[in-house]
Amino acid sequence: MDSVEQATPDIKQRVQELTQILQKASYEYYVLDAPTIEDAVYDRFYHELRDLEICYPELISPNSPTQRVGERPASQFISIKHNVPLYSLENAFGNEDLITWEQRWRKVEPDISQADYVCELKIDGSALALTYENGLLVRGATRGDGVTGEDITSNVRAIRSIPLRLNLDNPPPLVEVRGEAFLPLDTFEQINREREQSGDTLFANPRNAVAGTLRQLDARMVAQRKPDFYAYTLHFQTDKIHLASQWDALEFLQTVGFRVNPERQLCPTMQDVFAYCDRWSIGRTQLRYLTDGVVVKLNSFDLQERLGFTQKFPRWAIAFKYPAEEAPTIVEDIIFNVGRTGAITPVAKLRPVQLAGTTVSRATLHNRDRIEELKLCEGDTVIVRKAGEIIPEIVRVLPELRPEGAQSYEMLTHCPECGEAVVKPDDEAVTRCINTSCPAILRGALTHWASRDALDVNGVGEKLVLQLVDQGLVHSVGDLYELTIEQLLTLERMGTKSAEKIIQAIQDSKKQPWARVLYALGIRHVGSVNAQVLTQSFPSVDLLAQANPAEIAQVYGIGSEIAQSVHGWFQNHGNQRLIERLRSAGLQLVGEDGNTPLIATAITGKTFVVTGTLPTLKRDEAKAMIQKAGGKVTDSVSKKTNYLVVGEDAGSKLEKAQTLGVTLLSEDEFLQLLEPRS
């Protein structure tokens, strides 16, 4: 075959121009919060750059905006030693501790008459160490123990507020940047809503959520969860750049492309530090992220260097910690909630207590392990706090106040709703009811189906669902579409007009798109975002039902756990019957680009691999055409492969296909196969 066309100087220049435009746009959007180009314009430039890189892969550079998220998950993280250690900070719990700290450093440097401080909010997230070589991001690592961390470079590259290239014309050979990755509160709450809808255990707080996010093996999940990042210090050795203070360093970090906390303040005296800490003890509740304190640093780098470090801490910095608000109360009972996926969550009913400005009367106990860990008994006095200032949790039990003869709580062995035995899978912490006829699971499924983000069936809420299930009018989602006005009129407080509106709302829900229907099915781990992603790659229910786990896992943002869950759901005979009922009822089980019922072609049901550069089609276009026509697309050639669509520079896949006797197709032959059968 002919060699791949080489990029001309004009093409190389265009790639450089597009890279610079997109980098500048990202800086303005994610760092300055002042975008100068419209999203549609950004997307057009991005796609132009991506298309050029596909045609001329030798022009792809590590700092290209298209390279933020890789296509393949990491198999594991490796431990690495930090070039510059990440030290812990000594804690201060009040102004007296700050005064003691100041007195201590002044004993080391008694001749200092005037010293100013920099105060920065202490973000409740995960510390990261970033390494830039000649201005390019080459490594991102977790803090670990401060000396050794884990290499999570692929995940760090997925964080949009971390620049892939420093905004410097002549960068130093090596720059080490330190900062905090975190999840904004609205993002954290959205993630937990998605997890609740998918039947997953909720994250207790944003800190745990971002730590779990950064340890995902698939960087696409990191990009989907959208963590943010604030830089707070840097290290380099060069005579070209002179920074005299921490304040200078923060200004420099923002100039070269990083987000820096806008609430930082230069404080001339310790009294100003007191005022800053006091102001944010209340003001932090209005922030878009969680902070558990203030980091106070001596501003002068020269003074920092002279003071140095103890064995554990820098002498020139300290963390002022706000106390976590806690309160004692009494556990009056434990109840067990059954979710729509059968997950059983123990919840402690508490004697109401004021905490962080709200009245708390319940606290989640998460699972059986947590009950056993707390050794909780009837009538126990417990200490309660809001985890991450959001979710009430029991911190500890005060056994010395336990009533005499109190019985310990244990996880139930049978479902509180249907009485069937519950199970606890070995690979999960959650106990589940697996009876698909359980009223609680049915109620949850119906409520989810009718919810706003799903099919948005106005009038079908929890109260109506409770009556429909209790009266035996509905035994599955499919039954909703067979309800009559006469049946609804048998329910409490149901008039003719209300019944007519509900029936009309149910009928209107048939117009909701395929993505919403998929989300409404309540498949475990499939939230609204994942449903949208899946339906873009599988534009009909038939294509998704026919796909195997490997094919589903190839979809951007979908990992193996989600793929297994989706595949398993469609293998269930009861779920297959439900799909047929929904199809008969007229639900939208095909997207705008779908093709159900499929027009029979030679491609229908066949497995394809696409390799090399095709004359007129992009690979993604060819794959979409195969899937739309009812075929399957995989990335690797095997005995199950029916066809290999071959372009120029095909490589090892072509050799393997020839060895296995797989049928080879040119682009023209492939397009002929797409023609409908007569």
- Which residues are identified as catalytic? 122
Is the four-CA dihedral 672, 629, 614, 645 of positive or negative sign?
A: negative
DSSP-assigned letters across all residues of 122-141: EESSEEEEEEEETTEEEEEE
Q: How far apart (Å, rounded) are the C-alpha atoms in residues 358 and 354?
A: 6
Q: Given the DSSP bridges, would you call strands 91-92 and 317-321 parallel, antiparallel or unpaired?
A: parallel
Residue found by looking up tokens 């059986």 in the block:
368
Rg over alpha carbons for the chain, rounded to the nearest Å, is 30
Three-class secondary structure of residue 530 per DSSP: helix
Alpha-carbon gap, residue 457 to 177, rounded angstroms: 50
**Do the Cβ atoms of 540 and 590 come closer than 8 Å?**
yes
Tokens of 365: 């106990």
Q: Compute the C-alpha angle 579/584/590, nearest 5°.
A: 60
Which helix (DSSP H) or strand (DSSP E) does residue 501 occupy?
helix 496-508
Distances (CA, A) of 519 to 1, 184, 198, 452: 46, 25, 9, 11
Tokens of 465: 């669902």
Question: How many other C-beta atoms lie within 10 A of the C-beta of residue 261?
Answer: 21
Q: Which residues contact 609 (CB under 8 A, 6 or more apart)?
A: 633, 634, 635, 636, 637, 641, 643, 644, 645, 653, 657, 662
Residue where the block lists tokens 């099915």: 521
Nearest-angstrom CA–CA distance, 327 and 382: 8
The secondary structure of residue 181, as a DSSP letter, is E
Rounded Cα distance between 126 and 216, Å, is 14
Token digits for 639? Answer: 């005995």
